[in-house]
Amino acid sequence: MTDDLRKLFPVTERYVYLNHAAVAPISLRVYQRMQEHARDQLEHGIVNYDQWSTTIKKTRQSAADLINARREQIAFAQNTSAGLAMIANGIDWHQGDNIVTAKCEFPANIVPWMRIQREYGVELRMAPERDGRLETEEILNLVDEKTRLVTLSFVQYASGFRADLATIGRYCRERDLLFVVDAIQGLGALSLDVEASHIDALAADAHKFLLGTEGCAIFYLSPRAMERIKPTLVGWFSLENPDDHANFAQTYAKSARRYEPGSLNTIGVAGLGAALELFKEVGMEKIESYLIDLGDYLCGRLAERGYQVISSRREREKSAIICCRHAKYSADFLANSLTERQIVTAARAGRLRISPHFYITREEIDRLIVALPA
């Protein structure tokens, strides 16, 4: 990546930042876009609201373009958890139904389904992680005639394992099941096509690999998902014509906006819009190729240093998250000692998690390797 792109991230002046799977630094472009919005509200209040609406419309389109969807299929949620909860709460469940997922999922993609399990007598089936991987066949073998939905992360938070979305999605579509994806650990680092992968619903907050801020998530639903997932958190903005304030008898919006109950986090949407413009400028295929190559380099250096790489190195299972461990040092010790040297990583599930983005260089990876105890 070019030096000009790297200069957009002032965090590089202080840290080797390898923790985009937690909370990412924002770029100067995102900061400036949000600053412009805040100043506009500071100086003009609501006078330029039409411009805010235009920004929201453009960001909605950019989000759709990123995942090969249509603008009317995109809503903005408070976060990934809110999106997944809206899906779980909006389905007409029956006792005896089951949901298929994985035991290694982040709690955001488990807790909403556990509530459904308790409230409706729905079975929650979870495929196990084996050596940092999930076997696609093992997941699909959990599906039977009572399965209503399969829900998985695009990339697993504690291993970096990348799911075979296309195979799983096709299997679900052939059986008329909903396929739900928690995309927060992959979107922005890896290319994703909701049509090619037969994804029915997707949620991803902006604050990780999307390089935006917390509190603003992309929420996608296919037409068949919108038919089956009724809005449960609704308000004036969910209606077909929100400006017709006296018409309480309106239907919900035909688009995914029906899942937006009220005023959005407009400053967060503005920042996300700037981030999405940068991804389009650089190119998602280029970003993904760069990060996979950088990950291969990192894994080679870790092995030289005596670290066991947990993350799958199979070609279609690689992501921008690399997890490793050492026989002598705990993950917490390693992450803390690296932070003292201004190298930011994380400890997850007893593993050191390293998650670079496209502005990180091989030289910075070398600094990490030198700082790791052997």
Distance CA 287, CA 14 (A): 23
Average pLDDT of 324-330?
A: 98
pLDDT of residue 299: 98
Distance CA 318, CA 190 (A): 10
- Strands of the sheet with 308-309, listed across from one edge: 308-309, 322-325, 351-354, 346-348
Handedness of CA 343, 347, 353, 359 (dihedral sign): negative
Q: Which amino acid, 109?
A: N
Residue 330's contacts (CB-CB under 8 Å, 6 or more residues apart) are 347, 350
Distance CA 222, CA 200 (A): 5
Average pLDDT of 209-236?
A: 97
Q: Residue written as tokens 């040297």?
A: 341
Residue 246's contacts (CB-CB under 8 Å, 6 or more residues apart) are none
pLDDT of residue 358: 98
**Could you tell me the two tokens for 129?**
């992680």
> pLDDT tens digits for 280-319?
999 999 999 999 999 999 999 999 999 999 999 999 999 9
> pLDDT tens digits for 8-51?
999 999 999 999 999 999 999 999 999 999 999 999 999 999 99
Binning pLDDT at 50, 70 and 90, where does residue 1 land? Answer: low
> pLDDT tens digits for 330-364?
999 999 999 999 999 999 999 999 999 999 999 99
Q: What is the DSSP letter of 151?
A: E
**Could you tell me the two tokens for 195?**
């049509």
Distance CA 7, CA 28 (A): 9
Picking from 3, 102, 7, 25, the residue whose alpha carbon sits closest to that of residue 357 is 25
Domain 33-280 has CATH 3.40.640.10: yes
pLDDT of residue 309: 98
What is the dihedral angle through the alpha carbons of 220, 224, 225, 227, rounded to the nearest 10 degrees?
A: 120
pTM: 0.97
**Over 80: is that where the pLDDT of 72 sits?**
yes
Pairing of strands 74-77, 123-127: unpaired
Q: What are phi and psi of 156, to 5 degrees?
A: -75, 135
pLDDT of residue 3: 82
Picking from 97, 95, 99, 119, the residue whose alpha carbon sits closest to that of residue 109 is 99
Beta-carbon count within 10 A of 110 CB? 19
Residue 185's contacts (CB-CB under 8 Å, 6 or more residues apart) are 21, 106, 153, 154, 155, 156, 157, 208, 209, 319, 321
Task: Specify the domain boundaries for CATH 3.90.1150.10 within the chain.
Answer: 3-18+283-371
Superfamily of domain 3-18+283-371: Aspartate Aminotransferase, domain 1 (3.90.1150.10)
Average pLDDT of 194-214?
A: 98
Average pLDDT of 103-111?
A: 98
Average pLDDT of 177-205?
A: 98
Task: Judge contact between 325 and 308, C-beta under 8 A.
Answer: yes
Task: Specify the domain boundaries for CATH 3.40.640.10 within the chain.
Answer: 33-280
Average pLDDT of 65-81?
A: 98
pLDDT of residue 42: 98
Q: Residue written as tokens 């092995």?
A: 303
Averaged pLDDT of the chain:
97
Average pLDDT of 233-242?
A: 97
Task: Judge contact between 156 and 104, C-beta under 8 A.
Answer: yes
Q: What are phi and psi of 201, to 5 degrees?
A: -150, 145
